[in-house]
Structures are given as C-alpha cells and as structure tokens.
C-alpha cells in the first residue's frame, strides 16, 4: 500500500491520517449523495471513516472515499512544525482570475445589483461572496506533505489534505488550513462556528489591536456576519430540539486575518449524521451569499472560473454519524508542479471594492507562506482608489 497519506485532518483535538482508498463516492450532492453516503456509513467498521471533500456546486461530483486504513492520534497536534522548504517558483501567474482590477470590477458589479434591487424585495440579493485564484508553477513537483506540515504552524486553523481526481483525470491534492467550523457532531451535541466579516492582521501589536477593534465595531461587517449566523440557525433548527448562539459576535484570529465569529451549539432530536448536517448547512452565506440561489446565480455570472472544492467542505464521518466538517477555505489545489490558490470575500451593500480586493490578497498569505513564497506577490491596491482606475499589477 502507498505510504503517502490520501487524507489528513489535524485539529486541536485530534489528527486523522488515511492511506489508500477502498471505496470512492463521487455522487453530486444534488443527485442523491446523502442516500449513497448513508448506505456506505451503514457498512463501516468501528475503525473506518468516510472522508474527503464536498464541492461548492451542488451538481459537481463529490470527492469522498473510505481509506484502506486510518490512524487516529488523540494527542494534541497543534504545535509549531518545520517550515516548508519548497524553492521559489520559476514562474508565478500574477494575472490571477481575475487580476486586482478585474476583481474590483466584479465587486462593483455586485454593488450595482444591490442598488438595482427593490428594498422591499425579500428575494433580492443581499450578500454575495466573490473569489479569485492565483496560479504558482514550480520547477519540481510540490510535496503536499511539506505544505501540510508548514500550515500546521497556525494553531487557530484545522489543517487538511485530501487526495482527489480532477475533472481532467489528473490525480491531485486539495490542501488548506481553515479556521471555520461548518459542523461537528459528537453524540447528540452539534456545534458550528460561522465566520463572516474579516480584516487582515497588521504588522505591529498596536495597529493589529486597532484593526480588530474596528472590525468588531463595524456595522457593515456585523450585518454581513448576522446573515451567516441566521442562516446556520435556520439550517440546524429542524434537526435540533435545543439551539443556542450569543447575540453578538466575538473576535477570532489566524496568523494572517481577524474574523467575526459566533459559536453555535445544539442538541439533536434524532439520528442525523455529521455529513447530513454538513449537506444541510452547505453552502452558508459565508462562502456563497444570501439568498443562496440568487447568490449562486451572481457567482456564476461574475466569477470567471470553476470553484471546484473551494468553498465546499472537507472532513469526515464515522459509522455512528459522529464527525467534523470544515468550510474549505484558505486552500490550494496541488497537481504536480502547480498550485492553484483560492481566496474570496463577502460583498454586501457598503463594501469597498479596493478593500475587498486587498482582503482576498491577504487571504492568499497562509498558502503562499506554506509554499515558501512571499505572502504578497501582488502589491496591494491603493486605499481610496476608484475601482475603474485601479492599475493592473504584473
């Protein structure tokens, strides 16, 4: 059996490492994934797990599988690891999809949609998450394990790595470090930690504290955050007889970003697996928008690429239904010598196109650092610049 892990999932509580694959499940969520997965879960042994990733698009294939063997380490795994030793890339495609100029235009187009909608129309777009990608090409194939170990430097995130087959048939690894818990189920206790509203960390302690305080006080960011929390509560309510969340968000941080976060905890009223709950929650407004169907249409119209597994979910479920699923953000798709990075930002009325472009640039930082590259290959767009006058950076 191949000794290269096909799946790794490292949180504060545990680390799962899977090898090989004895069963693969690629059913799209829209086409009966839950039913197919339930049949698989019913046949799992006590040491088995169904692991992998869910796509963003409901009609795209899932990337789930049962490893031939899975090791479970219950010791704390969040500790500094050796830094990545990947050499600097021979080329890096700074003409991301889209470039900063194009991204500002995308945000402006979304703002135009908000303004064009009637204020009394409940079906009108209220938030949309817009993303861009960055492609890095190295001289030699990238070792996913090295990138995984480097990402473990940040104790605030769950680090994941899962093997999958791309649409073109090439074997690849989807890898990242997500701070956002979609759902965790242990027995009848279910937890979620929705995040929305973000700002990049600052270089000095004083400036960093100022940015955090400004984020916590931001009316625009609190409004964006509340949309996500309400969506999570609405999605979990049919499954729970008790569901609680504080009325105000708290601050959560990673190595590169500050976020608004709200812990949600509930008690299940039936036997619903963590995968079923993940499918019910996904996608939240934190990665799609609201209303969901309208936001999906806007994303399809404005984004120039297929998200694939980005802004889906990655995690695991056991035969009892317990498990943990993270929102698949701060991630990259690694195939051979190429790494395609993804980053997005939530757009609501009042968003600043330049600020949102710079936020996505900051969100590339964790993966760029793990790949041994500068965290800012694209210069930041000047604050206050008009979105129709933003200069291209190349």
CB 280 within 8 A of CB 245: no
CB 288 within 8 A of CB 295: yes
Of 68, 87, 97, 180, which one is the catalytic site residue? 180
Of 68, 87, 127, 224, which one is the catalytic site residue? 127
* Known catalytic membership, residue 180: yes
Phi and psi torsions of 16, nearest 5°: -105, 135
Q: Which residues are catalytic?
A: 127, 180
């Amino acid at each position: 059996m191949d000794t290269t892990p096909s799946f790794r999932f490292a949180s504060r509580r545990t680390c799962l490492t899977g090898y090989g694959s004895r069963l693969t499940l690629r059913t799209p969520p829209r086409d009966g994934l839950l039913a197919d997965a339930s049949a698989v879960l019913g046949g799992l042994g006590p040491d088995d797990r169904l692991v992998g990733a869910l796509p963003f698009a409901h009609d795209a294939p899932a990337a789930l599988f049962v490893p031939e063997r899975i090791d479970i380490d219950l010791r704390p795994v969040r500790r500094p690891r050796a830094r990545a030793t990947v050499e600097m890339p021979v080329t890096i495609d700074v003409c991301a999809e889209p470039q900063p100029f194009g991204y500002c235009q995308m945000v402006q187009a979304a703002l135009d949609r908000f303004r064009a909608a009637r204020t009394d129309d409940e079906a009108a777009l209220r938030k949309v998450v817009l993303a861009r990608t960055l492609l890095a090409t190295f001289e030699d194939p990238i070792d996913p394990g090295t990138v995984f170990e480097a990402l473990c430097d940040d104790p605030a995130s769950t680090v994941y790595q899962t093997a999958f087959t791309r649409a073109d048939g090439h074997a690849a690894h989807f890898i990242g470090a997500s701070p956002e818990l979609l759902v965790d189920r242990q027995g009848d206790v279910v937890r979620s930690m929705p995040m929305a509203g973000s700002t990049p960390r600052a270089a000095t302690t004083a400036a960093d504290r100022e940015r955090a305080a400004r984020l916590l006080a931001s009316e625009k960011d609190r409004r964006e955050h509340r949309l996500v929390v309400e969506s999570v509560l609405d999605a979990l309510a049919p499954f729970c007889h008790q569901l609680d969340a504080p009325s105000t968000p708290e601050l959560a941080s990673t190595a590169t970003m500050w976020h608004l976060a709200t812990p949600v905890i509930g008690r299940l009223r039936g036997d619903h697996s963590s995968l079923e709950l993940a499918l019910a929650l996904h996608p939240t407004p934190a990665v799609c928008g609201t209303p969901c169907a309208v936001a999906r249409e806007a994303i399809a119209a404005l984004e120039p690429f297929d998200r694939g597994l980005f802004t889906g979910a990655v995690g695991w479920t056991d035969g009892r239904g317990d498990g943990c699923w993270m929102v698949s953000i701060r991630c990259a798709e690694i195939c051979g010598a190429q790494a395609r990075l993804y980053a997005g930002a939530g757009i609501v009325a009042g968003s600043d196109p330049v600020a949102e472009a710079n936020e996505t640039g900051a969100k590339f930082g964790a993966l760029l650092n793990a790949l041994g590259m500068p965290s800012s290959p694209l210069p930041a767009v000047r604050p206050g610049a008009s979105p129709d006058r933003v200069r291209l950076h190349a």
